[in-house]
Structure 1
Amino acid sequence: MVLNVWAHGNKVFNLYKGKPIVAMTCGMGHLGPASISNLAKDLRRKLCTNGDPLLIDPDDYTIGEVAEKALAFFQGRYEAIDPPVGNHGFEFWVGGYGSNCDNAEIWKVSLQSGEWLPLELIANQDQDGHVSFGGQPQAINRLLLGFDPALGDALSELGMPPDAVPGILEQLQARLATPLVHPAMPIQDAINLAEFLVDLTKRYFAFLPNADIVGGATDIATVTKHEGFKWIARKHHYDAALNPRETDHV
Structure 2
Amino acid sequence: MTVLVSVKINDGVVMAADSASSFASGMVYNNSHKIINIYEGLPVGVMVTGAGGIGSESIHTLLKDLRLRFSNKDGMHEMWQLDTTLYTIESIGARLRQFLFEEKSVPHGATTWTKLRLCGYSAGRPIAEVWEVNLMGPDCPPPACIQSEHEFGLRWDGEYEALDRLVFGLGTRFNEFAVKHGMTPDQAAALREKLVPDLYELLFVEAMPIQDAIELARYLVETTIGFIKYSVGRPKVVGGPIEIASITKHEGFQWVQR
Query: What residue in structure 1 maps to residue 106 of structure 2?
Result: 79
1:154-173 matches, within 5 Å, as 154-173=177-196
> Which protein, 1 or 2, shows the higher relative CO under an 8 Å CA cutoff with sep ≥ 6?
2
- Cα RMSD, aligned residues only: 1.9
TM-score normalised per structure 2: 0.83
The code of the aligned residue for 1:144 comes to: V
Q: In structure 2, what is the equivalent of residue 13 of structure 1?
A: 36
Q: 1:120 to 1:11 in 2, by over 3 A?
A: same
Change (3 A) 1:190 1:168: same
Residue 66 of structure 2: which of 16, 29, 43 is its match? 43
Matched residue of 1:223: which SS? strand
For residue 24 of structure 1, the aligned residue among 47, 52, 74 is 47
TM-score (norm 1): 0.85
After superposition, residues 125-204 of structure 1 pair within 5 angstroms as 125-128=149-152, 130-204=153-227
Distance in structure 1 (CA, Å) of the matches to 2:234 and 2:160: 17
Gaps of 5+ in 1: 235-250
- Asked if the contact 1:67/1:109 (under 8 Å) is kept, the reply is yes
Higher strand residue share: 2
Alignment partners' CA distance in 1, 2:95 and 2:191: 38
CA distance in 1, matches of 2:63, 2:41: 16
- Find the counterpart in structure 2 of residue 245 from structure 1: none
- Alpha-carbon separation, structure 2, partners of 1:125 and 1:136: 26
Secondary structure, counterpart of 2:118 in structure 1: strand
5+ residue gaps, structure 2 = 1-22
Does the CA contact (< 8 Å) of 1:2 and 1:211 recur in 2?
A: no
Q: 2:94 touches 2:142 (CA, 8 Å); kept in 1?
A: no
- Distance, in Å, in 2 between the alignment partners of 1:174 and 1:6 is 37
- Give the match's secondary structure for 1:101: coil
Aligned partner of 2:245 in structure 1 is: 221
Pairs aligned (count): 230
Alpha-carbon separation, structure 1, partners of 2:79 and 2:28: 35
Q: Percent identity?
A: 30
